[in-house]
Amino acid sequence: MERGVSVLSTRNADLPRKTQVGSITKSSYNGNGKDDQSVFKQGMLVFVHHDVDIWTEGTVSGIEGENILVTLPSGKEQWVKHKDIALRNECDYGSTEDLTLLTPLTCASVFQCLKKRYQQDVFYTRAGVTLVAINPFKDVPSLYKKEVIDRYHQLHGQRKVLSPHVFAIAQEAYSHMRQQVGRMNQSVIVSGESGSGKTVTAKHLMKYLTSISNSNAGDTGTRIESRILDSNPILEAFGNASTSRNSNSSRFGKYIQLQFQRNGQILGASIQTYLLEKTRVVHQSENERNFHIFYQMLNGGNDVEKEEWLGRKDSLFKMITNHGACTEDQQSWRQTREAMGDIGITAQQQDSIFKVLGAILHLGNLVFDGDGDQGCYVDTDDQGENS
């Protein structure tokens, strides 16, 4: 569960600021923040630390010093230390939309709440002003369709009616920007570890903000919205890679600034990137890949293009590991080329870019630190296959 959790929060800011989410101690407590095994009594409901399930439910059935006998749902009894259990109550964790309402508020109760909601296909939960998002690891198009965007825009402020959602965070930032007197910039911080869904969450944020701000902007607004959203597949192609934990991991950081007119209509955007993992070009760990764009070229480009960009037939590119014919690469290639055209990169400019990438692949053979002949042979009469 922890692998798929990201957090979002909004705040007034001219520049991005750090935000800290308060930690929750693992140990049980008696209300004053101190560990106290005397808080546990026979018959109390508890969570028990579990090697597989992390936390599981139980009931105290006996106490001997620091050892507590707990009866598990299966009927099995287990002796545990007081530090390995936490108090629980009989609340409906799956219907709790705000983690701050949990009583008692412990690591175990937070985990149980998120777990129950995830099992119900509910992936967003509030934690005060912060939103906790869990990666569903599947497409959920019904959660982000146009009707949902309209609903969160029209019913903004009716917290009891609207469930926690990334759209609610976006709408809050947009409303604060519109309602504040004078110049009041807003920041939305998306934080989480690799595979938690930050890239997709950022795309949903951008889609929502450009959609609601473009409702009365006409063709000009539509073109601006299209160009902003088309930046995503290009950034992912040149800056994302498949890792052992995430098939679309961003290997760089980005600060996206959406610019609005006084009337709230979208005006433009700027994207600042930083800390690109340049070393990935010449070295990838086991079971990981280079940046997406190289595989998109190899799997998506036609024979004429590959011969022009990559040189002679049967070229060996040692930097390209874990390569093979991939339908997803071919689909992404078409999206990348279309997006490049939509934002104004001409066919001639694209051709120059891909020639540079081809030259990088050839240069990589001189500095590649792999073993022997491992790599990718590219035959311009075929779609390429592993060596």
Binding site per annotation, positions: 192-199
What are the structure tokens assigned to 176, written together? 């604060």
How many whole angstroms separate alpha carbon 367 and alpha carbon 365? 6
**DSSP structural state of residue 23:** P
Give dist(CA 246, CA 243) in Å, integer.
Answer: 5
* Contact criterion met (CB below 8 Å) for 384 and 376: yes
Q: Would you call the peptide bond into 104 cis, given omega within 30 degrees of 0 as the criterion?
A: yes
Residue 56 CA to residue 159 CA, distance in Å, equals: 31
Tell me the C-alpha distance between 305 and 283, whole Å.
26
* Enclosing H/E stretch for 292: helix 292-300
Q: Count other Cβ atoms within 10 Å, centred on residue 134.
A: 22
289 with 277: CB under 8 angstroms?
no
CA distance 231 to 336: 9
Task: Give me 322's structure tokens.
Answer: 């874990």
List the one residue out of 320, 334, 330 whose CA is nearest residue 370: 320
DSSP label of 51: T
Helix, strand, or coil (residue 19): coil
- Alpha-carbon distance of 350 to 104, in angstroms, equals 58
- What residue numbers does the annotated binding site for ATP cover? 192-199
Q: Quick one: CA torsion of 262, 265, 268, 270, rounded to 10 degrees?
A: 70
CB 265 within 8 A of CB 213: yes
Rounded to an integer, what is the distance from CA 296 to the centroid of its chain? 22
Decide if 68 contacts 61 (C-beta within 8 A): no
Structure tokens at 359: 């030259």
Question: Helix 347-367 vs helix 303-310: angle between axes, to the nearest 10 degrees?
Answer: 60
Q: Encoding tokens for residue 36? A: 């106290």
